[in-house]
Amino acid sequence: MKILVLLGTMLLLFSATALAQDAYLVGPGDVLDVQVWDNKDLSQVVFVAPDGKISLPLTGQIRAAGLTIDELQDQLGSRYSKTVKAPSVSVILKEIRSRPLHLVSGFAKTGILQLTQPTRILEIIPLSGGILPTADGE
């Protein structure tokens, strides 16, 4: 089944990448809650832009994609320390939107499914409503 082979290959690549890393890596599309304690004006919910950057007051643009949450917190703390006395920065991952799986045909439910963890093909099939009887079986 062509559709299963393609989907299985994509999921295998995602699973291998996710399992090879100890922590989640921020990606374009993710939504982050950045808190600078005792500085409510600096705390914001931000969207990671397609270029992988976020924009915050006093830091300007900073690359977030490819960093762990801890690495991003450290970078933001370093940036804020130039203008804020002893900043305490927390970053919370609010929404994962950087791992889309596009289900286009052959499934009962088509559209975008956001993967939030390593996922096997057998877990995707029920989430997609199953494979249609008219799907290409070659």
Q: What is the pLDDT of residue 138?
A: 59
Q: What is the pLDDT of residue 137?
A: 61
For residue 91, what are its two tokens? Answer: 């970053």
Distance CA 71, CA 68 (A): 5
What domains are there in the chain, each with its CATH number? Answer: 2-23+98-127 (no CATH), 31-95 (3.30.1950.10)
pLDDT in tens, the chain (138 residues): 455 445 554 554 454 444 434 588 999 999 999 999 988 899 999 999 999 999 999 999 999 999 999 999 999 999 999 999 999 999 999 999 998 888 888 888 888 888 877 788 888 888 888 888 887 765
Provide the pairing of β-strand 53-56 with 60-63: antiparallel
